[in-house]
Amino acid sequence: MSAADASLSSDHAVSPLDVEAIRRDFPIFSRTIRGQPLVFLDTAASAQKPRQVIDALLEFYESGYANIHRGIYQLSAEATTRFEGVRDTVQRFLGAADRREIVFVRNATEAINLVARSWGDAHLREGDEILISAMEHHANIVPWQMLCERVGSRLRVAPINERGELEVGAFEALLGERTKIVAITHVSNALGSIVPLHEIIPRAKSHGAMVLVDGAQAVPHAKVDVAALGCDFYAFSGHKLFGPTGSGVLYGRLPILEATPPFLGGGDMIETVSFERTTYAPVPQKFEAGTPDVAGVIGLGAAIDYLETIGLDRIELWESELLEYATEALEAIAGLRIIGTASDKAAVISFVLEGIHPHDIGTVLDQQGVAVRAGHHCAQPLMEVLGVPATVRASFSLYNTKQDVDALVKAIRTALELFA
Ligand code: PMP
């Protein structure tokens, strides 16, 4: 990632990661799959959880549990303090200017739907345009299509080149006075391509467009700084960040959130309610109707603490070493084609094997204890652009080793022999 996309600077020495020690933090690695050690290469779908996160959940349910924001008793006050403390953690983690810019949602999907519904319905009209890229996850396509159906606006799609890189020139050519919002991924879940946000956000801004970044695949891999990026919205899911399912974040610039109508209505998001009229709570509560996933948010806080203790710069360095090692190893396999060879890439490798369906490869790999994803990766339009029905995807994380890569290569060779 560039300096603007991530605060990592390569000019200071970063001490290497003790991967074996990290693996001991993840209880899942003590189990076997079909009698073999688990080789988990599907972190892009959801990350495994460290003991620190599991313990935070356990401790909260065992000795700290209560609903938040409404109780006048000690337990509720404590739970509220912990929940709101995570807002401060996320604010710092994302480099947001104000804690009120952090809205807790269930996942990235809900965050994007919130923006499309609440901000989109209020601001887009017939003929207005929404610009996305060809490598978006369905979560960053479908909510915008639904908005188009409601208000008569138009979805435009910026192309990618054969390496899976955004065509910045073509992207810019699609920007115009009708472009109301650019909704774009930070890192492609299917290809690993890192989008040069530092190049495209200023261009979008110069045309007066809002910018939403889908950061679901970016936050686990490198330090993100929303202020340096200059985006208006940034969305991510807690479960991909080693936190619990059901926890997610929408960052939104304060004046924009303040001027945006609520998403869901109900308890907690109001100031006063009568049968005639309701007034809304200030942000972020205005966007947090109903009982949130209190435990999930507390677990997310523990996950961020865990990652920050390790250091995202060290994680990024280890993952790029793994990516290089795995790319070389996979390229050496005859008949294997890597899909997505962007020059700036996160540790995700999609590939196809000549003559073998990705699902069959996934099944053979699973028999050898290697967990990968096979399919369209919730990016069907991208698969169409690439001319493949599906790919096998191996995604690497802080707990993966070079032995995991070797196990993947061995399992692929077995699949090749089986299907020869
Ligand atoms: N965007 C991207 C880039 C993703 O990879 C994913 C999850 N695969 C999502 C959005 C949606 O995440 P969630 O299902 O947690 O809402």
User: Partners of 280 in the beta sheet?
Assistant: 270
Q: What is the DSSP string of 162-213?
A: TTS-B-HHHHHHH--TTEEEEEEESB-TTT-BBP-HHHHHHHHHHTT-EEEE
pTM, entire model = 0.96
User: Distance from the CA of 247 to the center of ligand 1, in angstroms?
Assistant: 12
User: Partners of 154 in the beta sheet?
Assistant: 129
pLDDT tens for 105-150 read: 999 999 999 999 999 999 999 999 999 999 999 999 999 999 999 9
Among residues 256, 281, 259, 257, which one has the least CA distance to residue 270?
A: 281
Q: Is the peptide bond before 284 cis (omega within 30 degrees of 0)?
A: yes
pLDDT tens for 47-103 read: 999 999 999 999 999 999 999 987 789 999 999 999 999 999 999 999 999 999 999
pLDDT at position 283 over 90: yes
Residue 207 · residue 180 · CB < 8 Å = no
Give the Cα separation of 243 and 286 in Å (integer): 24
Give the Cα separation of 216 and 43 in Å (integer): 12
pLDDT, averaged across the chain: 95
Nearest-atom number in ligand 1 for the CA of 186 is 3
Band of residue 291 on the pLDDT scale cut at 50, 70, 90: very high
Do the bridges between strand 248-252 and strand 102-105 make them parallel or antiparallel, or are there none, so unpaired?
antiparallel
pLDDT at position 4 over 50: no
Q: Which two tokens stand for residue 263?
A: 């998403």
Residue 358 · residue 390 · CB < 8 Å = yes
Q: What is the DSSP string of 11-42?
A: TS--PPP-HHHHHHT-GGGGSEETTEE-EE-B
Percent of the chain exceeding pLDDT 90 equals 94
User: Partners of 193 in the beta sheet?
Assistant: 345
Task: Please list the active-site residues.
Answer: 378
Nearest-atom number in ligand 1 for the CA of 187 is 3
Q: So what's the pLDDT on residue 12? A: 56
- Quick count: other Cβ atoms within 10 Å of Cβ 401? 17
* Helix or strand holding residue 405 (H, E): helix 402-418
Task: For ligand 1, say whether the CB of 247 is within 6 Å of any of its atoms.
Answer: no
For residue 205, the one-letter residue type is: K
Residue 240 · residue 217 · CB < 8 Å = yes
DSSP 8-state secondary structure symbol assigned to residue 298:
H
- Quick count: other Cβ atoms within 10 Å of Cβ 35? 6
Going from the C-alpha of 82 to that of each of 73, 155, 296, 299, 302, the distances in angstroms are 15, 41, 11, 10, 11
Q: So what's the pLDDT on residue 316? A: 96
Q: So what's the pLDDT on residue 71? A: 78
CATH classification (class only), 54-308: alpha beta
Q: Which two tokens stand for residue 172?
A: 């810019």
Percent of the chain exceeding pLDDT 70 equals 97
User: Distance from the CA of 26 to the center of ligand 1, in angstroms?
Assistant: 22
pLDDT at position 218 over 70: yes
Q: Which two tokens stand for residue 247?
A: 């926890």
- Cα angle 158, 47, 63 (rounded to 5 degrees) comes to 130
Same CATH topology for 19-50+311-414 and 54-308: the answer is: no
CATH classification (class only), 19-50+311-414: alpha beta
User: Distance from the CA of 380 to the center of ligand 1, in angstroms?
Assistant: 14
User: Distance from the CA of 74 to the center of ligand 1, in angstroms?
Assistant: 37
Task: For ligand 1, say whether the CB of 378 is within 6 Å of any of its atoms.
Answer: yes
Mean pLDDT of 312-328: 97
pLDDT tens for 7-38 read: 434 445 778 899 999 999 999 999 999 899 99
Domain boundaries defined on the chain: 19-50+311-414, 54-308
Q: So what's the pLDDT on residue 3? A: 42
Residue 298 · residue 56 · CB < 8 Å = yes
Going from the C-alpha of 124 to that of each of 149, 176, 285, the distances in angstroms are 11, 14, 24
Cα of 346 vs its chain's centroid, Å: 12
Nearest-atom number in ligand 1 for the CA of 106 is 16
